[in-house]
Amino acid sequence: MALVMNSENERLQHQRRFSGDLIGITAIVAIGAIGYFVFPDNLALLTRMITIALLVLSLDLVTGYCGVATLGHAALFGSGAYAAGILSAHYGINDPLLMMLAGIAAGAIAGLLSGAIILRAHGLPQLVLSIALIHLFHEFANKASSWTGGSDGLSGIAPDPIFGLFEFDLYGQTAFFFGMTLLLVVFVLLRFLVRSPFGMLCRGIRQDPLRIRAMGGSPMAALIRMYVISGAVAGVGGALNAISTQVVGLDSLSFTQSAEALVMLVLGGTGSLFGALSGTVIFMLFEDYVSAANPFHWLTMVGALLIAVVLFAPKGLFGTAAAFVRRRKEARA
């Protein structure tokens, strides 16, 4: 009897997860389509949003799922961007997919490096290590100006048409659809990842690393692996940024970029892929709107928004909304 109920439950849960996936994908496509039809002249903003969303998703993997506090995640993003850009600008390899692969590889390597350093400490020292790391990356890219263009930025990136068919046009149509496709693929893969036994292990480490070790798991190895995966995801975002804007600036490796990514993640809600996505979209729309409406006060407004979120929606906007919906459902049941 119990067995039957278990399998029944499992089937239900499975169905619910699957419908969750489906709703998620539909929501992303729908929001993308709305954006496409509402801002047809501003596809560059939408593409930028997608690249940052990939960065925030990647940050969510280490911060939300593993509990690693970092203010240096743009190091992974920037490495991907520079790798893709250097491949095109210095080696003349202009195939977008190869550039993407280079970005993924460079992001993963940067992830391995940062993970090996950042994971040595906990709490405040960990935060400071990540800050020091992003500054080192930044100074290094600035110094190696023959490769990276230094503070002038890396230009001369000219991606070929995708599959030789879709050329990158002036209006950013191709870049937008390329970005949407990448985002969907990454999203689906990450949904699988965070539900896999490995994803569960990472959540367990966040909650109680000592207990995981007592059960025979190795928190350090798992976290480093997650860092590498996160680096690959950030690398996708970085490479997409290099391909779509055809220039890579030092700001993609900056502390400000890292801090903004963290703000977006916490704003949306950590530990959930939807939280990462919604935080990015809301923050960037808000920033775009406010900085256009009132360029003198936009920083004050952003600050006030952050304080308001901490006071009234401590789990992030998506996290608080999800909790509210769950409470409503339970009340009805």
Q: Which of 8, 139, 167, 169 binds other proteins (CB under 8 A)?
A: 139
- Nearest distance from C-beta of residue 138 to other proteins, angstroms: 9
CB neighbours (10 Å) of residue 137?
Answer: 25
CB neighbours (10 Å) of residue 165?
Answer: 7
Q: Is 255 among the residues that bind other proteins (CB under 8 A)?
A: yes
CA distance 36 to 329: 33
Q: Is 63 among the residues that bind other proteins (CB under 8 A)?
A: yes
Judged by beta carbon, residue 29 or residue 307, the one nearer other proteins is: 307
Q: Is 43 among the residues that bind other proteins (CB under 8 A)?
A: no
Backbone angles phi, psi at 64, to 5 degrees: -75, -40
CA distance 235 to 237: 5
**Tokens encoding 80:** 């991907």
Q: Which of 101, 184, 285, 302 binds other proteins (CB under 8 A)?
A: 302
Site stretch for other proteins (CB under 8 A), options 29-37, 80-88, 159-167, 299-307: 299-307
Site stretch for other proteins (CB under 8 A), options 127-135, 164-172, 206-214, 241-249: 127-135
**Tokens encoding 49:** 């949003």
Choose among 119, 151, 143: nearest CA to 133.
119
Q: Is 136 among the residues that bind other proteins (CB under 8 A)?
A: yes
Judged by beta carbon, residue 106 or residue 266, the one nearer other proteins is: 266
Q: Which of 98, 188, 298, 320 binds other proteins (CB under 8 A)?
A: 298
Judged by beta carbon, residue 180 or residue 250, the one nearer other proteins is: 250
Site stretch for other proteins (CB under 8 A), options 83-91, 97-105, 134-142, 174-182: 134-142
Helix (H) or strand (E) holding 333: none
Q: What is the DSSP string of 104-168?
A: HHHHHHHHHHHHHHHTTS-SHHHHHHHHHHHHHHHHHHHH-HHHH-GGG-B----PPPBTTTB--
Q: Which of 11, 14, 16, 143 binds other proteins (CB under 8 A)?
A: 143
End-to-end CA distance of the chain: 24
| Planar angle of CA 85, 86, 92, nearest 5 degrees | 95
Q: Is 282 among the residues that bind other proteins (CB under 8 A)?
A: no
Judged by beta carbon, residue 71 or residue 74, the one nearer other proteins is: 71
Q: Which of 66, 175, 212, 267 binds other proteins (CB under 8 A)?
A: 267
CA distance 256 to 287: 14
Q: Is 311 among the residues that bind other proteins (CB under 8 A)?
A: yes
Q: Is 292 among the residues that bind other proteins (CB under 8 A)?
A: no
CA distance 330 to 46: 37
Q: Is 2 among the residues that bind other proteins (CB under 8 A)?
A: no
Binding site for other proteins (CB under 8 A): 63, 69, 71, 117, 120-125, 127-129, 131-133, 135-136, 139-140, 142-143, 255, 259, 262-263, 266-267, 270, 296-307, 309-311, 314
